[in-house]
Amino acid sequence: MRYCRIAFVLALIVAAGCGQMRAQKINETLNSYIGRSVSDLALRLGPPTTDFASGNGRHAFQWETASQGPGAVVPLGSALIAVLPQKRQCRVSVVASTSKSNPTLGDWIIEHYEWNGNGCA
């Protein structure tokens, strides 16, 4: 039982550290698209899942993905620890502007981004 507690605490510490590193990597990647066209980001993420006018000549584009990670059974001493499959979701949203009257995806220039979810890495 003591080993299970230690393993659980270690797993939490590792997960917290990995989460911070993952967030930093995602922010670095998305920061590199500020000032670039939405089509550049679409080359990496695929076509946007949805897009809509957000007022003041701006447009919002969103990419949404969902998947499920594998589960596992890990032996720990004489016990088996079950790790359930984890549902992973990610939403990346960007706000872009253009000076074109009839813009294509390549005419929209990214000004701002947001992301959330546990499957964005």
Lowest-confidence pick of 1-5, 33-37, 59-63, 73-77: 1-5
pLDDT grade for 40, boundaries at 50, 70 and 90: very high
**CA 31/CA 42 separation, integer angstroms:** 15
Q: What is the pLDDT of residue 83?
A: 82
Lowest-confidence pick of 18-27, 30-39, 55-64: 18-27
| Chain centre to alpha carbon of residue 60 | 17
**61: closest CA among 51, 53, 69, 71?**
51
Which ranges of the chain does DSSP label H, i.e. alpha helix?
A: 2-31, 38-45
